Structure 1
Amino acid sequence: MRTAGAGTGPDGMAGERPQLINVAYRLLGSVTEAEDAVQDAYTRWYRLPRSRQEEILSPGAWLTTVTSRICLDVLGSARARRERYVGAWLPEPLPDRTEWDHPGGAGTAGAEDPADQVVLDESVSMAFLVVLESMTPAERVAFVLHDVFRYPFTEIADVLDRTPAACKQLASSARRRVGAERAPAPATGRADVVRDVKEAWKSRNIAALVALLDPAAVMTADGGGMVGTVLRPVEGGARIAQYMVAIADKAPGLELLERSVNGVPGLVAHRDGVVLTVAAFDVCDGRVTRIWAVRNPEKLRPWVREG
């Protein structure tokens, strides 16, 4: 599998880590699981006899293949785990590193938080990651590796243990799922709508919220059974507006901040410097069509307030 050239020394091998984290996060939708998959791949590399390492022409390509196979296995078992998950499961939201302060990783000099290494673009937007969740594990791997990272199907075939033609069909099927979703609103327009939602929420203005929400809007919340939240999606702009105002009434001292969530405008709710909720939005024609609210504390670890 293609990758930037790298030697087999510690520095060269470590240089592959950001690319591997980016691949794994898009495949798994979880920073923690992505980090575990990449660490597992490195462990397997260093367990190889030196003679075997020297036979591998591109260690980076080998690591990418192994990481992708590990992710494929994780995706296969994740479906069963998520059936036992309390409420809806959403991908882990990512902050913009220019706005938030991430604690550095421990154990190695200069180690960074995995979230800091993910390139924030449309392929990690919450809307995109949620669509990826609807795919089969094989579709997701084929689509992400080919359409996002531009790996050829001949190399993806090694990951999925299928023919290149079969991998092409998997990616095509996944592409149809993505194509069914409309194009996202421009960042500037989305930011204006999110800002208006924030102001309407602060003023408890149900009428203004209803006007900002599509009548068929859907809000999905992920508390993981660890914090209180709705277990099923809230459907309809009017119901969502009423729910949002009810939350505001029951949570004195809660403050909303406009922040980048997975590279696009979103809102972060905090109280006394502790982040409680990270909300991502999908916007179409000036109205919010989807809200994804992540409240599971385990998924909010990268969200540490600055200073």
Structure 2
Amino acid sequence: MKKFLFTVWTAFSVPFRQLTSQDIKALAVCMLLSTVFWLSVTLSKTYSTSYTLHIRLLSQVHPVQVEIKGSGWSLLRLSFRPLLDTLAFTLPSDVDVLPARRLLPIIKQHFPDDLEITIISPENIILYEPSRLTTKKIRLLPPTEQINELLCDSCYIASAPTVEPSHLIVEGKSEKIKLLPDTLVLPLYALSINEDFDISYRSRQLISQKDIQLQPDAVRLHFRVGYFQQITLQLPVELKDFPEKGHWQIHPSKVKVQLSGKAEDLEALKTSPRAIQAWVSFEESSSRDSLRVQVTTSLNGIQIKAITPSQVKLLQP
């Protein structure tokens, strides 16, 4: 084995034994130039690195992981600077949450302009007093949009959705409470809804964060669904703007009116006779033997489907 290695070394070193000092200098210059060229190309490329930067705020230290991207030259120059490990600055007293978009410009001020800085985590820095407990009222809203999507074509919401109680009281450490929303829309797990919809939610279904106290233990969502209906009423035909009404007669004196609408509105028509009227106008009596029957109602949402008969005869006095 030693003989083999000696033979290889001899074969490799023979050409260099024949070089003069001028040849060696030329070879050294070529190697130096190639090295400089390789370094120039390598350091001109873009590289990225990441490390943890500590942000000191209100006597608290928050680790922030940042990514630094730039050319090899920029990163090489940065490596010769003292390591920037901790940043300290002050904020207004009313600031509870420092988002990454506000923190990023502050960090960039401490780095050269030719470097691209990106915050990897966290998205927000929560400023809190570790030992402080606080409470918050979260307003609960009904899932109105989801309810409307589940309604059939002939359905409507007869009574507005209500949530009882309307607020959820949460208690816990301030840093966790601040992350909770001010309002919460209740989820709707049903695939269909019935006429009298009543469902209860456990508070833990709505707020799943640990180490938080919730009151009450359950909330209730309730609403009632109504259905559009059709009825037929028999109405007397009244004379509108007729002089000496007692001398005029029409045939037939009553018409059947088919109506469509909400159940409670249709029921109101039955109990309030003056809420709907059928009538004919004196303005049409001079040029026609038959008068068109018109029906009006004071209730919104009532649709008049048909009037039978749609015309009546005017009997001259």
- TM-score w.r.t. length of structure 1: 0.22
Q: Which has the higher strand share?
A: 2
Q: Which has the higher helix share?
A: 1
Name the larger-Rg structure.
2
- TM-score w.r.t. length of structure 2: 0.22
